[in-house]
Amino acid sequence: MWVCISSFCFFSCKSEKEGPNKNHDASKPIVLKSFYPNEGGARDKILLDGENFGTDPGKVKVYFNNAKATVISTSGDRIYAIVPRLPGDMPQISVVIGADSVVYKDKFEYHIQAQVSTVTGNGQKNFKPGTLSEAEVYGKYLELDAEGNIFMSWRDGGNPATFGVARINERQNIVTPLIESILTGRILFANGLTVDRVSGMLTAAHESTKEVIFTFDPREAWYPRQRNVKYSTADLNSIVAADLYKNFVTYCPYDGHLYTRYRDGKIAKINPETLEAKIVHQGPYGSQYGQAINPAKPWLLYITLHSNATPTGFRQGISVLDLRDPNGTGGFKRLNAPGGSGFRDGPLADALFNFPKDIKFDNKGNMFVADYDNHCIRMVSADNIVTTVAGQPGTPGYKDGGPVESLFNQPWGVAVNEQGDIYIADWSNARIRKLVIE
């Protein structure tokens, strides 16, 4: 197949140099004929045939659904482009030149190419610092900064069991604790972590107190500092003491604030500079296992709730809250189908998960879900199509490799770096895994 592509490219490039100038004529329509190949993956070459494309590649835009392709060249009747990463299921190809936009009748069959590897951990359910090959990890939640540091929280494992936050760095080949203590002397009970990727500030919510959060500043070598959030007396007293657990805190680049949620359903907005805070929404009751901001739409806060959520329609689901108007008519709404403890890919409105835990986004708005009891990693594309990108649904195990071979055992945490690589806290395997998707 690629021999043919190379030949096409050679003659296409040659015709551009030797053929007549074919500028785009805005008074005439763009005509689409065919494209080749009709299937492939990210970074594959594709030739788009038609008429009235013009010869200036800078004026031509090609999209696979909403994912923008790289246009290499255009000869007037042929565009040479590169297939973009993760455009969604069976994407439609559109060509945009100026005010004109046309779509090919046939769809492109996109194949996800994924590879799973192990970053660190050896299966021992313990925390032990050291090189990546020597370290032992039992992480639940992950987060990343722009410098390639992976931050992990853990709260189990070892004898005695320890609680803490650690830094993992592949390039430096090291796992080091930032804060660690045994249960009886616990300083921080951390679950979900968040990073402001501009400043690099890492923040963790102390689960079992109403006001306390911890910050780790890279300018201070991530030294842990306790911060006490400042609520009004009315807001503080409104948080139900028996349901004060705040499992998560998330930095929102839309307004520069932190958001946290208590088990009683209250969502709070925190100024990270002044620590002034207020309750901005009362949502459904329930324990929480994931929270994330969509960087493509940074005013949307996504949350996964556990099987104790009330009303029951929010159990084991992915829900969203619009932070621009948190008490507006949209409110806190579930996005996937009701009826948890299942597995179904397809449109998000029809999809089922089985105890979905952590969720994170790449920069294009694709969401990755640690589907805990389905033992796999699911992706919700920017156009709301759910696919399984790694692991075998319903089959626990441990195996690196491609999407067909790879196995997980109750994956809990996920994080996504600037390049779109996904890191997974493979909890019952006591390892940190890496998923590269093309």
Report helix, strand or coil for 79: strand
pLDDT value, residue 7: 43
Residues in Cβ contact with 12 at an 8 Å cutoff, skipping those fewer than 6 apart: 47, 73, 75, 78, 80
Characterize the bridge pairing of strands 422-426 and 411-416: antiparallel
Residue 195 token pair: 């990073």
End-to-end CA distance of the chain: 19
Contact status, residue 232 vs residue 278, Cβ threshold 8 Å: yes
- Give, for all 438 residues of the chain, the pLDDT tens digit: 443 444 444 444 444 444 455 789 999 999 999 999 999 998 899 999 999 999 999 999 999 998 899 999 999 999 999 999 888 878 999 999 999 999 999 999 998 888 999 999 999 999 999 999 999 999 999 999 999 999 999 988 888 889 999 999 999 999 999 999 998 888 899 999 999 999 999 999 999 999 999 999 999 999 999 999 999 999 999 999 999 999 999 999 999 999 999 999 999 999 999 999 999 999 999 999 999 999 999 999 999 999 999 999 999 999 999 999 999 888 899 999 997 789 999 999 999 999 999 999 999 899 999 999 999 999 999 889 999 999 999 999 999 998 889 999 999 999 999 989 999 999 999 999 999 987
Between CA 369 and CA 413 the distance in angstroms is 8
Q: How far apart are the C-alpha atoms of 193 and 177, rounded to whole Å?
A: 15
Q: What share of the chain is helix, strand, coil (3-state, %, to 5)?
A: 10, 45, 45
What's the whole-model pTM score? 0.85
Backbone dihedral region of 223: left (phi > 0), alpha (psi from -120 to 50 degrees) or beta?
beta
Residue 101 in tokens: 């936009």
